[in-house]
């Protein structure tokens, strides 16, 4: 009886000290959704780039290309070197309008009224935030934003829909320290 008890005890000890085994996954994800999303975005980007390049070639204006992925030209440029571009925390007072690439007005300057924006401390769409960093007091700039620099996939939940590239004419009235 003691031998059986010792044998059972030894077997329990041996089984109880076994290290845990890794479980095999039940299902394997292939990443097909991500691959399809990447392809959709590449096609969308190519289509928007073609539309913007068409506008750039039709107009007799020399557009500048930003490092951030949008285009712009100065309607009114300030040549005064003493004026600075905004930096973190500066308050920018500006007016702007929003149009589609075909020139249809979505929001006029009257609709949007004069805006005050604390640089990099408040929410504003990416392209406009980056565009304001290029401007000085008194300048007016026209920007062409692809949808990923504008309101992107979600739009503005009002008049701007999904994946809409935009044209914005922006005038900086003043830049002040916080």
> In this structure, is residue 22 part of a structural domain?
no
CATH code for the domain of 92: 3.10.50.40
Give residues with Cβ within 8 angstroms of 2, minimum separation 6. Answer: none
Residue 159 counted as domain residue: yes
Owning domain of residue 149: 62-176
Number of domains the chain contains: 1
Is 115 within a domain?
Answer: yes
What is the structure's pLDDT at 17?
61
> In the numeric block, which tokens belong to residue 100?
């589609």
Residue with tokens 């990099």: 120
Domain-embedded: residue 44: no
Asked whether residue 40 is assigned to any structural domain, the reply reads no
> For residues 26 and 6, what is the distance between their CA atoms, to the nearest angstrom?
39
Please list the rounded mean pLDDT of every run of 10 residues in the chain (178 residues).
78 67 72 84 92 88 91 90 85 96 93 94 93 94 94 89 94 91
Round to whole Å and give the CA distance between 38 and 44.
Answer: 10
Distance CA 10, CA 4 (A): 10
128 within a domain of the structure (yes/no): yes
């Amino acid at each position: 009886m003691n031998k059986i008890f010792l044998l059972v005890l030894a077997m329990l000890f041996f089984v109880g000290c076994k290290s845990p085994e890794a479980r095999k996954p039940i299902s394997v994800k292939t990443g097909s959704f991500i691959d399809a999303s990447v392809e959709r975005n590449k096609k969308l980007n190519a289509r928007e780039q073609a539309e913007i390049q068409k506008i750039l070639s039709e107009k007799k204006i020399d557009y500048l290309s930003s490092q951030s992925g949008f285009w712009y030209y100065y309607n009114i440029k300030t040549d005064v070197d003493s004026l600075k571009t905004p930096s973190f925390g500066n308050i920018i007072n500006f007016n702007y309008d929003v149009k589609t690439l075909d020139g249809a007005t979505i929001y006029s300057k009257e609709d949007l009224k004069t805006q005050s924006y604390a640089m990099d401390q408040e929410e504003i769409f990416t392209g406009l935030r980056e565009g304001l960093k290029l401007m000085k007091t008194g300048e007016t700039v026209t920007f062409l934003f692809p949808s990923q620099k504008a309101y992107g996939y979600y739009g503005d939940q009002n008049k701007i829909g999904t994946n809409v590239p935009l044209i914005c004419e922006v005038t900086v009235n003043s830049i002040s320290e916080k």
